[in-house]
Structure 1
Amino acid sequence: MARAVSRLFTARTGLPATAAALRELSDDGLLDLQDRLAEPGPDREGLPPMLSLVPFADGELIPDPVLDALTTGDAGAGVPLMLGFTAHEFNLIPAPTPTPAAGPDGRPLPVSVLLGGLGLTGDRAAAFAETYTNTDPAGHFGQALTDLPFAFDLLDAEGVEDAAGPTPPRALATAVHRAWVAFVTHQDPGPDWPAYTADARTTKIWDTTPRTERDPLAAVRGIWLGSK
């Protein structure tokens, strides 16, 4: 796979697929090359539908594919994991088939299904589940990616008003950003956000008034796992 993608990259861009050829390129330059690599065409038959400039397992520098290392080896064992989604994730993106983060009805999959699909059981990762549900009359909040300006506390950044409306709640951005920083720094988002476990399934709900709920996606999980 790595050789096939490297050959495609070189054929489409004229550059060798080496670190030396890419090291001095700007971010925009790399993104342009990635877009050219991802374009459809008969020369990419048999390759994954989505290609990006990412490392492939070569057996030496990267001994195993990431998914295999997570599910069959010790990579990541005991490393806390934060999973999150917006209440209407992917609703703005038409898709012919269900996306990995949503079920057939467009509703987000429960954490247990996502972890199970990766082969990660509760004893392999401490998961902190979260969902963003804030909505306004124009329907700005809760769509895909609208959580990012809150996570990075960048409500004044260019384009945020188009995605989050003219008056996004700044207190919410402060709270979300604080939790993210705490998680990155200490692997714990704080005492008001307990870990998700198979017994409690506690989930942080980021709304105008943040809160935690016990198993808020019980009905969805029941549909996917065949339980009530």
Structure 2
Amino acid sequence: MERFADVEATIEAGGDPLTFLPFRPVTDGGLVPLDPLAAIASGSAPGVDVLVGYNADEWKLFALMDASPIDDETLVRRLDMVSGNGAALADAYRTMGGDAPAKDLLNNAFTDLLFRRPAAKLLHAQTSHGATYAYRFSWQSPSMGGMLGAAHAMELPFVFDLAHMPGIEVLVGPDAPQVLADSVHGAWVAFATEGTPSLPGGPQWERWTHDAYNAIDLDEHCRPILDAHDTVDAAWEA
């Protein structure tokens, strides 16, 4: 009976297996001996240059699987589930988003939680040990009536210059801008071959550093940005 009790306790500690990504790598002291970010920050990858980024609307792809209405109360409740600080986070995103619907604010929050903030943490960890470059992919797909926006994986047809390949229009629509594919594909090829991303005929791609969160906003007209989110990041840290 004690063995069964131990199994039940282990299952209970693991949480609900039907939630988002219930199984993932863990730091066990063996196969994964150290926390990866801590190891990188301590210099485990010296001289490794990185190009790291996220899409502006990452969560919209996953939100398609959830048809339930999102109001302000639901927004606070869901943010509280992942942070214990739901009300403050909702206020922070409302300050940034103005009159945007609660569903859009939730998209912004989960995009930050699962994509933007992890990308920034990796940049923070590696920038003292190698060249770090950052991007935000913001092009808004017209597909599905615009529901996808700059959703998860939206950048991939442009990275590989396949935006006009048969079947890809389901994701990017029938008139994806070739100029964006030229810019994104060109930047990735330049980084892979020369170690520095560059935009053909575009602005210079400055390094991301602790002092300046330089990034390139990837859209039909690519532009440099400072990708800082102090208000919402402070709420997440709280």
Instruction: Tell me whether the two structures share a fold, i.e. TM-score over 0.5.
Output: yes
Q: Assess if the C-alpha contact under 8 Å between 1:71 and 1:119 holds in 2.
A: no
Structure 1 unaligned blocks of 5 or more: 1-41
State the 1:225 CA deviation: 2.6
Alignment partner for residue 132 of structure 1, among 132, 137, 158?
137
Cα separation, partners in 2 of 1:129 and 1:111, compared to 1, 3 Å: farther
Cα separation, partners in 2 of 1:89 and 1:50, compared to 1, 3 Å: same
Higher relative contact order at CA 8 Å, sep ≥6: structure 1 or structure 2? 2
Q: Assess if the C-alpha contact under 8 Å between 1:113 and 1:221 holds in 2.
A: no
The answer to whether the aligner puts 1:168 opposite 2:168 as a matched pair is no
Q: Assess if the C-alpha contact under 8 Å between 1:89 and 1:142 holds in 2.
A: yes
Structure 2 unaligned blocks of 5 or more: 1-7, 15-20, 67-77, 84-88, 91-104
Residue type of the alignment partner of 2:233 = W
Corresponding residue for 1:50? 23
State the 1:188 CA deviation: 0.8
Cα separation, partners in 2 of 1:167 and 1:85, compared to 1, 3 Å: same
- SS of the residue corresponding to residue 125 of structure 2 reads coil
Q: In structure 1, how many angstroms separate the alpha carbons of the residues matched to 2:189 and 2:176?
A: 20
The answer to whether the aligner puts 1:122 opposite 2:127 as a matched pair is yes
Corresponding residue for 1:6? none
Residue type of the alignment partner of 1:204 = I
State the 1:58 CA deviation: 8.7
Q: Assess if the C-alpha contact under 8 Å between 1:71 and 1:118 holds in 2.
A: no
Q: Assess if the C-alpha contact under 8 Å between 2:164 and 2:176 holds in 1.
A: no
Cα separation, partners in 2 of 1:141 and 1:81, compared to 1, 3 Å: same
Residue type of the alignment partner of 2:194 = H
Q: In structure 1, how many angstroms separate the alpha carbons of the residues matched to 2:178 and 2:123?
A: 35
Residue type of the alignment partner of 1:116 = K
What is the CA deviation profile of residues 25-53 of structure 1, one whole-angstrom value per residue up to 9, with x for unaligned ones? Answer: xxxxxxxxxxxxxxxxx9x94778235xx
* Sequence identity percentage: 25
Corresponding residue for 2:48? 79
Cα separation, partners in 2 of 1:152 and 1:131, compared to 1, 3 Å: same
What is the CA deviation profile of residues 82-126 of structure 1, one whole-angstrom value per residue up to 9, with x for unaligned ones? Answer: 111111111221386669xxx874324396764437871631343
Q: Assess if the C-alpha contact under 8 Å between 2:37 and 2:125 holds in 1.
A: no
Alignment partner for residue 234 of structure 2, among 207, 225, 228?
225
Cα separation, partners in 2 of 1:188 and 1:165, compared to 1, 3 Å: same
Task: Write the mapping of 1:93-104 to structure 2, written as runs, cut at 5 A.
Answer: 93-94=62-63
CA-based RMSD: 3.8
Q: Which is richer in helix?
A: 2
Alignment partner for residue 200 of structure 1, among 212, 228, 231?
212
Corresponding residue for 2:93? none
State the 1:159 CA deviation: 3.1
Q: In structure 1, how many angstroms separate the alpha carbons of the residues matched to 2:183 and 2:46?
A: 29
Alignment partner for residue 209 of structure 1, among 207, 217, 221?
221
Cα separation, partners in 2 of 1:98 and 1:180, compared to 1, 3 Å: farther
Give the number of equivalent residue pairs.
175
Q: In structure 2, how many angstroms separate the alpha carbons of the residues matched to 1:63 and 1:211?
A: 38
Q: In structure 2, how many angstroms separate the alpha carbons of the residues matched to 1:112 and 1:122?
A: 15
Corresponding residue for 1:182? 190
Residue type of the alignment partner of 2:178 = R
State the 1:221 CA deviation: 2.7
Corresponding residue for 1:26? none
Q: Assess if the C-alpha contact under 8 Å between 2:154 and 2:172 holds in 1.
A: yes
State the 1:79 CA deviation: 1.3
